[in-house]
Chains A and B, each alone.
Chain A
Amino acid sequence: MILHELVTYETLRLAWWLLLGVLLVGFAVTDGFDLGANMLLPFAGRNDLERRVIINSFGPVWEGNQVWLIVGGAAIFAAWPQLYAVAFSGFYLAMFAVLVPLILRPVAIKFRSKHEDAAWRARWDWTLFVTGLVPALIFGVAMGNVLQGVPFRLAPDMRIFYEGSFFGLLNPFALLCGLVSVAMLLMHGSAWLQLKAQGPVAERARSYGSVAALLTLVLYALAGLVLWSWIDGYRVTSALPTGGPSNPLLKTVAHQPGAWFANYAARPWLWIAPGLGLAGALLAFVGMRMRREGMALLASALAIAGIILSVGASMFPFILPSSLNPRASLTVWDSSSSHLTLFIMLVVSAIFIPIIVAYTSWVYKVLWGKVDADAIREERGHAY
């Protein structure tokens, strides 16, 4: 097959780096609101009916939303196998801590209202709260650790040795990033509830959401400041051919202050990403106060996209720096799949992502409108 030679290896790697961003943003924007709504469940819903309204607001769509995460994981496996291998085995216990909520959440949503007992339902409600909070926190903590570099090294045959511990992940900067992530998804979940619920649930969501939007703004700015002042970035110090073989050990890397802001200095238009993060959060706050639900949800989605993309822009071409042996750091140019695999996967994505977006939009359109509390009370239709 020579068709794939038409697109250069460099272009394909760049495209897959962007697609990684698209999948992460897709996950955070769609599954983000139901993780956020899960966190709000015990607080924005004060009685059984209110809580069922919250669950039913995302009940019909969360399964599709979560597929962004599944596909994100599989796409990393297919396009960035080294990243998949190092990150998933290195963050082993953190991954387990994410998997437990991901196992419990579908079951909790499905099982909670199948039994009348109040204690049964309360147990599942708190389970849902935890299954929203823990992944949100850990995804942020993981991001914070990636920015600081992860303690792994590669043997010449590419076997991976990770020399960190689970508690090592919980350092102050990483926890700060975890809080950014929690605040951001809380903001997003509140914006969703304001759009889908009515009455007291929407009102409470509005109060929590306004606070969360401001917190997102402040914590994100603070994290940026800390990154600027105290966290050393990484810089490639040798030649790194963009079309070279995927072997991370062929380059040299320096760990140095300010490196994470070098891209912004070189290409000032990249400031759009963090700018979007800050402006989106502010706009979400304004939208919530003005009761413009649609605007608030859109703004909060833009904030999430901006925040995630700003991390990618700052680290490029790094995707997983190694603190233990910086030259083993994974970059866009030396840890991807082969030219052919990237090409095939790009063609498949180019065909299916638009189709997915089309039918997902159609499903959201069918389900448009506020959750009908009366229908839930009277057990009409299939409601969780």
Chain B
Amino acid sequence: MDLDIVALSRLQFALTALYHFLFVPLTIGLAVIVAIMETVYVMTGRTIWRDMTKFWGLLFGINFAMGVATGVVMEFQFGMNWSYYSHYVGDVFGAPLAIEGLMAFFLEATFVGLFFFGWDKLSKVGHLITTWAVAIGSNFSALWILIANGWMQNPVGAAFNPQTMRMEVTDFYAVLTNPVAQAKFVHTVSAGYTVAAIFVLGVSAWYVLRGRHLQLAKRSMTVAASFGLAASLSVVVLGDESGYLSTEHQKMKLAAVEAMWKTEPAPAAFTAFGFPDEAARETHYAIHIPAVMGLIGTRSLTTEIPGIDDLVHRAELNIRVGISAYDALQKIREAGSDAAVPESARKIFEANGHALGYALLLKRYVDDPRQATPEQVAQAALDTVPPVAPLYWAFRTMVGLGMFFILLTGVFFVLSARRRLDAYPWLLKVAVFAIPLPWLAAECGWIVAELGRQPWVIEGVLPTAVAVSNLGAGTVLLTIAGFTLLYTVLFVIEMKLMLKSIRKGPEEHPVPPPAAYRAEADPELAALPRNPLAAAD
């Protein structure tokens, strides 16, 4: 990788975003799980559910602090490292971020303190409302962030204004109801629920293996398994490929994810396995499953999915249209006043302005896109192919893990229904070792979505290379080093505290019948055969 400012700025954004995204999904999911547990407490009055709420809430709090800490960076980085981006699309992109703050983050952050401090100060129902406010806040947060992100993938409801040299909102409703944003929201929130469910499942399984906190752990597993099964089904079935055919570059992303170099007759086959070779533009040792790709991508048997080579050809045509739009734009701007704009330029820009972004792809090679040579145009068209191999593998890792989560949570769901959660220690061990896997899947998902968007920062509108701030490479290197150091230290401390809290375990305030809890506190009683009814609530 060259040490140019674009690569460094991308590296910093990727590092901080991937790091932030370690904490966000757990926050989103655990908030809901904790709220469900507290709801059961308020409805049944059984104090063990309060103990569960407090224990998982404690872990939620440690994680939440890290999420807040790393989230501030995300908010400010657009302006710091991507100032031309901020100018160019702030009119559209800034609004959902601001609404996120006003509608969601304020709610979540104001009530999270009360969640921890309000147990003695609020009524049962008052505290429950507080907990739900945190859960709803964190989920709404995801909605607005994904409306912003969805617009980067599919920039609807906006148009370029030559007077201000930027994109401006023309239809805010279209931005809100962007199909890509909706698909992403459902998919990302479900992923968060899966992360949290498997976290709760795994930690509880560890307690069961150790014979500690059995009552609390088994109830937690029941919640986690049923919630996790629903979530992992949703995350796989409602994957965000549903939005992949809505735009030209989403098609490119889909083709890259599948390493599908040539257009195939519908319905296209799914490449279950193979080694994509970007130099030779083919996939070696490919194993195809007929028709599956067409079904996933288009939800139909007759719609054709274009391959990479065709899409590159289409990009080249778009670049030529973009150059004529760029030329018209220069004429409009040179005219000075509105009245002096030549009618021909205005007409050309109206017709071709949508492809202006494609002309900007040439800025990497030539200052004035109108001066580009045919070779440069061809090269810029080739640049529209994102890195195929990383996308191909990240996608397969994510999908494979998703299938595994359905299986895992499904098995524990059945075990829980049969009251046999502790019957198979090896399964409990699998659950413990599965804890980090949803994070791996989530980070792979981020890579598919955002690396797959390259070379665009706003698809078809603004290339990433044009969007950066004019900063010195040394300056950005310095902050990359700073963030890396800080984040590494904090990660180590965070993990230690998480593990310490988990090892220490929940504080339980047992309820009658006494036999149920003494069995755990008293080693002699614990050695006695357990009363199956006691565990069954």
Contact = CB atoms under 8 A, between A and B. Distances in A.
Interface of A: 1, 59-64, 66-67, 69-71, 73-75, 77-79, 81-82, 84-89, 92-93, 95-96, 99-100, 102-107, 109-111, 114-115, 156-162, 245-247, 337-338, 340-341, 344-345, 348-349, 352-353, 356, 359-360, 363, 366-367, 381-383
Given A81-B94, A99-B72, A114 B83 contact: no
B107 to A, nearest CB: 7
Given A1-B172, A59-B117, 17 more contacts: A66-B72, A67-B101, A74-B97, A79-B94, A85-B87, A88-B76, A104-B69, A106-B65, A110-B65, A162-B470, A245-B163, A247-B165, A344-B172, A348-B98, A356-B110, A363-B110, A363-B111
Contacts of B170: 340
B110 A341 contact: no
B170 to A, nearest CB: 7
A373 to B, nearest CB: 15
Nearest to A73: B75
A278 B120 CA distance: 41
Nearest to A383: B117
Nearest to B85: A85
B51 to A, nearest CB: 13
B105 A87 contact: no
Contact of B102 (A62, A160, A340, A348): A348
A359 B98 CA distance: 19
B100 interface: yes
B230 interface: no
B497 A114 contact: yes
Contacts of B114: 60, 363, 366-367
A170 to B, nearest CB: 16
B66 interface: yes
Contact of B106 (A71, A88, A93, A115): A71
Q: In this complex, which of A99, A337, A359 has the most chain B Cβ atoms within 10 angstroms of its Cβ?
A: A99
A349 B102 contact: yes
A349 B101 CA distance: 10
Interface string B37-68: 00000000000000000100010011001101
A93 B81 CA distance: 11
B164 A245 contact: yes
Contact of B94 (A61, A64, A74, A382): A74
A111 B490 CA distance: 10
Q: Which among B71, B106, B479, B490 has the highest number of chain A CB atoms within 10 Å?
A: B106
Interface in B119-173: 119-122, 133, 161, 163-166, 168-172
A337 B106 contact: no
Given A71-B102, A74-B94, A159 B493 contact: no
Contacts of A366: 114, 118, 121-122
Contact of A84 (B61, B90, B163): B90
Q: Across chains A and B, which 4 residue pairs bring their CB atoms closest together, nearest first?
A: A81-B90, A88-B79, A78-B94, A60-B113
Given A59-B113, A160-B87, A338-B91, A95 B76 contact: yes
B469 A160 contact: yes
Contacts, number: 250
Contacts of A367: 113-114, 117-118, 121
Interface residues on B, range: 35 or more
Contacts of A70: 71-72, 75, 101, 105
Question: Which of B54, B98, B114 has most chain A Cβ within 10 Å?
Answer: B98
Contacts of A352: 102-103, 106
Contacts of A82: 87, 90
A338 B168 contact: yes
B106 A74 contact: no
B500 interface: yes
Contacts of A341: 91-92, 94-95, 168-169, 172
A66 B490 CA distance: 20
Contacts of B163: 245, 247
A59 B58 CA distance: 15
B91 A71 contact: no
A102 B72 contact: yes
Contacts of B171: 1
A157 B103 CA distance: 34
Contact of B490 (A92, A103, A114, A160): A103
B84 A160 contact: yes
Nearest to B118: A366
B119 A382 contact: yes
Contacts of B95: 78, 337, 341, 344-345
Contact of A107 (B69, B81, B117, B475): B69
A85 B109 CA distance: 26
A60 B114 CA distance: 6
A89 B83 contact: yes
B112 interface: yes
B109 A64 contact: yes
Given A104-B69, A363-B114, A348 B99 contact: yes
B220 interface: no
A120 B475 CA distance: 32
Contacts of A348: 98-99, 102-103
B497 A87 contact: no
Contact of B69 (A86, A102, A159): A102
B65 A109 contact: yes
Contacts of A359: 107, 110-111, 133
Contacts of A338: 91, 161, 164, 168-169
A35 to B, nearest CB: 14
B21 interface: no
B172 A159 contact: no
A383 B113 CA distance: 10
A199 to B, nearest CB: 21
Contact of B469 (A63, A92, A110, A356): A92
Given A66-B68, A78-B90, A340 B169 contact: yes
